Structure 1
Amino acid sequence: MNKALDLIITKRERLQDLFLFQKNGATVLWDKSTLNAYSLDKKHMEFFDKLLKIENQEEIKKFVIKEINKSPELENELIELFRDLNFKKESKNLRRLNLLISQKCLLGCLYCYAKKGTYGHPSFMKPLIVKNSLESFLSIFDNIGMIQFFGGEPLLNLELIEYTIKLIQELVSEKIIQKKPDFLVESGLGVPEEIVKKFAKLLQDYPEIRLTVSCDGPSEIQNILRPFKNGKPSYNSVIGNLNYLKKYGQPHAIEVTYTKIHFDKGILPSDLINYFKEELGLKDSLVFVIPVISKDPSLALPRNVEIEMLHEYDVKMLKSLKNITSYPRYNIDEFKEHVENTVLNYAPTKYFCDGGIESYAVDTFGDIYSCHMLVGMEKFRIGNVGENIEKLKMNLETFAIKQKAMVEKARYDKCKNCYLENYCSSCPSANYLQRGNMVPSFSDCEIRKQIVKELLLEYAKNTSQEV
């Protein structure tokens, strides 16, 4: 038996992971387990169309042998397709360690779930907490993929960012960890100019730092949603700081919180993406538009509107490429970059969220939570980085078991046969803050599936390369 056929027979269940999307002459083979997509020519389309319809094992064998004899190159293609899937194995790495290094903030955002950035306890993290955090998690996990500096406003505690990076460098040089984590700073940039200049010096010393800026759009919206705590508008200060950091290749990304106020003013997600990329000149920055987490009816979007706005940019781009709209705005390079960033570069995951499994947040006191949104809520406190390691390890393992029972997609009937099972996500913490429970919502499943399929097919139509 050749290797390709052996793989197909021994991993026969993998055939259930493959889906064919076809429309207007384009065909895409989607592998839901790896999130790989392949643009198929007519010969490959016919092969997979027949293969995926055969249920009998002997018939599968006969068909594959016959096709490989006709096209020998098919054997290596099938071997690659049916290779082992590393993501299904439990990781021994911590994907993200979120350090809330500053529970202080100068902004007074209307929708802030963190009590204006303080989580009820305005304070700064101290070096000992960072040291204990790294020692604790590195005694349990082999490595840390990312360290996220969060707040409040993390730029108010710049010295601790530098301390953490230097400590990591020491751990790498001592071979306690094999690879330096990525460093991500999440900031609202609502700080004095002198702090931004100090941060720029830090960026020069450590160019591996990536910055994500929280900003909600033009002045007429930013000044309403994200004023300073003293009530003064923040737009000019934030954009001034943003423009200063552009010369250092920052920010890596912009995160916009989309609210009913945006919608009522006629500002759509596509308008916001265009505003940051075109008007502010941030062409190389990723722009994420996420719905507000709020129960306030003046801020929260009705669910049907929220679902529509989640995919508004995708729909507008697809219509533009198909010349359905009267104002074609997007070129093919912009579209390809969008599909790659939002679909093709995603890592498959069997969890809606890996908070409390492979991602944790630590507050200024060293208390550990599955998510920064839950900081300060005692019932969600898992432990403390100053605790005995064995006790902490037991607490984390116990919590992870409970968390997996809630966030593992395979536990939900709606996910089992869905081609986006290993792609989509849902935020348990946001669900808790809005609805009082952490059960995933499936209300946008159908539109999400349709949008991803349309994006992949349009991508395949406009590129001759493997997608």
Structure 2
Amino acid sequence: MLSRLTINSTQTCNLGCKYCYAAGGDYGGPAIRISPSLAVEKLRQAAECHSIIKLVQFIGGEPLLNLSAMQAVAEEAVALYEKGVLHERPAISAITNLTILSDEHLRLFQNYQFHLVVSLDGPSLVHNELRPTKQGKGSFDDIVLNLQRIRECRIAFDIECTYTYRHLESGLSIIDILKYLNEYDPGQIDVVVVSTAPGDQLGFNEYGRWRDAVRLQLDALNFSLDELEYGRIVPYGLLIETLGQIRAPGTDNFCPAGVTNLAIASDGDLYQCNMFTNNPRYKTSIEANDEVITKSQITECRKCWARPWCRSCVGNMEIRSPGDPHPYLQHCETLRGAISIVAQRLPGALESALQTVSQTIA
């Protein structure tokens, strides 16, 4: 089974985001788009090997630049289900900057019940600084206009903000970002602290800075719980993720990369995760049964009380420590703090989980 099959519909982008892990969208390689026929061929191969694919997700670059490939894959995913090759109909999603949106896009999203993840970094001033077009113009106005269009068409969407040190310098806490983005009424708000190489001024890698990042995330977690007590929902991704981790303890893997996650690059090559595109170390086969790195391989993880609930992005580890991915303190302290807060404020959430993982903890 694949929990997620990502298809890199286009390794090119119309934005020039200052923190882009994909090197401006091309992942350090040629700026190419996958052909509809190649995308369909790779989907068929994956379906023949994995009879269940929970999610087919288009990524980029900017995936909406390749409408024809998205249309072909969506049609084929349904056909494979109807033929019995896939035992379940996959959910279909796209991670997009939503700066472009034609009527054809809207019809595709409606016809195949797409769920969009829209990148929006907050109010216009900070967003336009961090996510300009390749020509240096702001992208905020186009995104807000297109958000209104998908809301009118009742297309489901989440919003993801990449939180940087520039936000903090601008006086915007994560709570401020949550309040602002919640006005757009998304299904979920993910405020992801940026992952950068050491020394990058947008990141939180230095000791004092990563402590700030932990505090800001835990303050926002308490805020979302406060709002819940008053009957107001702020769908903060960290709260949703923490509750999910507590209810369903993970495995020895940090993330599904190479196990139940398969990524198809625009040239048809296969990787353990789309974040590893063009990195030969992470190439894989259609079977997708490679373990990238496990908790048992890390001394600190073997001793950590939160190990049963820990899930972490190995792609982010690779960005922070190329060639030697390992957990970083910002993630570890945020995870432990989040579990402790939920245990204190929602004690019932841990009861059944503790019984399930007691042997692992011991």
CA spacing shift, 1:438–1:253, aligned 2, 3 Å: farther
In 2, are the aligned partners of 1:95 and 1:144 still within 8 Å (CA)?
Answer: yes
C-alpha separation in 1, matches of 2:268 and 2:224? 49
**Alignment match of 1:309 (pick from 201, 206, 213):** 213
- Deviation of 1:307 (Å): 4.5
In 2, are the aligned partners of 1:216 and 1:222 still within 8 Å (CA)?
Answer: yes
In 2, are the aligned partners of 1:100 and 1:152 still within 8 Å (CA)?
Answer: yes
Q: Find out whether 1:430 has 2:336 as its counterpart.
A: no
Any residues of structure 2 matched to 1:24-423 within 5 Å, and which? Answer: 93-119=1-27, 120-191=29-100, 195-207=101-113, 209-278=114-183, 281-282=184-185, 284-295=186-197, 297-304=200-207, 305-316=209-220, 318=222, 331-334=229-232, 341-346=240-245, 347-350=248-251, 351-382=253-284, 393=287, 396-397=288-289, 400-401=290-291, 403=292, 406=293, 408-416=294-302, 418-423=304-309
CA spacing shift, 1:251–1:214, aligned 2, 3 Å: farther
Task: State the partner residue of 2:340.
Answer: 453
C-alpha separation in 2, matches of 1:364 and 1:451? 37
C-alpha separation in 2, matches of 1:303 and 1:335? 33
CA spacing shift, 1:336–1:213, aligned 2, 3 Å: closer
C-alpha separation in 2, matches of 1:333 and 1:226? 34
**Identical-residue share of aligned pairs (%):** 25
CA spacing shift, 1:250–1:266, aligned 2, 3 Å: farther
CA spacing shift, 1:366–1:199, aligned 2, 3 Å: same
Which residue identity lines up with residue 36 of structure 2 in the other structure? Answer: P
C-alpha separation in 1, matches of 2:160 and 2:92? 17
Q: Show CA shifts across 1:149-178 (max 9, x none).
A: 011111111222221121111111111111
C-alpha separation in 1, matches of 2:235 and 2:194? 25
C-alpha separation in 2, matches of 1:164 and 1:422? 36
Task: State the partner residue of 1:81.
Answer: none
C-alpha separation in 1, matches of 2:153 and 2:256? 32
Q: Show CA shifts across 1:223-256 (max 9, x none).
A: 1111111111111111111121111334521111
In 1, are the aligned partners of 2:221 and 2:338 still within 8 Å (CA)?
Answer: no
C-alpha separation in 1, matches of 2:20 and 2:146? 21
**More displaced, 179-188 or 121-130?**
121-130
In 2, are the aligned partners of 1:315 and 1:451 still within 8 Å (CA)?
Answer: no
In 1, are the aligned partners of 2:263 and 2:270 still within 8 Å (CA)?
Answer: yes
CA spacing shift, 1:145–1:307, aligned 2, 3 Å: farther
In 1, are the aligned partners of 2:175 and 2:223 still within 8 Å (CA)?
Answer: no
In 1, are the aligned partners of 2:162 and 2:192 still within 8 Å (CA)?
Answer: yes
SS in structure 1 at match of 2:50 = coil
- Deviation of 1:139 (Å): 3.1
Which residue identity lines up with residue 200 of structure 2 in the other structure? Answer: P
C-alpha separation in 2, matches of 1:132 and 1:319? 47
Task: State the partner residue of 2:360.
Answer: none
In 2, are the aligned partners of 1:190 and 1:228 still within 8 Å (CA)?
Answer: no
Q: Show CA shifts across 1:237-280 (max 9, x none).
A: 111111211113345211111111111111111111110113xx
CA spacing shift, 1:146–1:330, aligned 2, 3 Å: closer
Q: Which residues of structure 1 form unaligned runs of 5+?
A: 1-92, 322-327, 384-391
Q: Show CA shifts across 1:3-61 (max 9, x none).
A: xxxxxxxxxxxxxxxxxxxxxxxxxxxxxxxxxxxxxxxxxxxxxxxxxxxxxxxxxxx
- Deviation of 1:432 (Å): 2.0
Q: Which structure's CA Rg is the greater one?
A: 1
Q: Show CA shifts across 1:113-167 (max 9, x none).
A: 2231123211211122222212322233231111110111111112222211211
**More displaced, 167-176 or 245-254?**
245-254
In 2, are the aligned partners of 1:336 and 1:459 still within 8 Å (CA)?
Answer: no
- Deviation of 1:319 (Å): 6.8
- Deviation of 1:335 (Å): 6.6
- Deviation of 1:215 (Å): 1.3
Task: State the partner residue of 2:356.
Answer: none
- Deviation of 1:377 (Å): 2.5
Task: State the partner residue of 1:52.
Answer: none
C-alpha separation in 2, matches of 1:244 and 1:342? 28
C-alpha separation in 1, matches of 2:318 and 2:120? 24
- Deviation of 1:313 (Å): 4.3
Q: TM-score normalized by structure 1?
A: 0.67
Report the count of equivalent residues. 344
- Deviation of 1:450 (Å): 3.4
- Deviation of 1:363 (Å): 0.9
In 2, are the aligned partners of 1:260 and 1:300 still within 8 Å (CA)?
Answer: yes
CA spacing shift, 1:430–1:176, aligned 2, 3 Å: same
CA spacing shift, 1:134–1:123, aligned 2, 3 Å: same
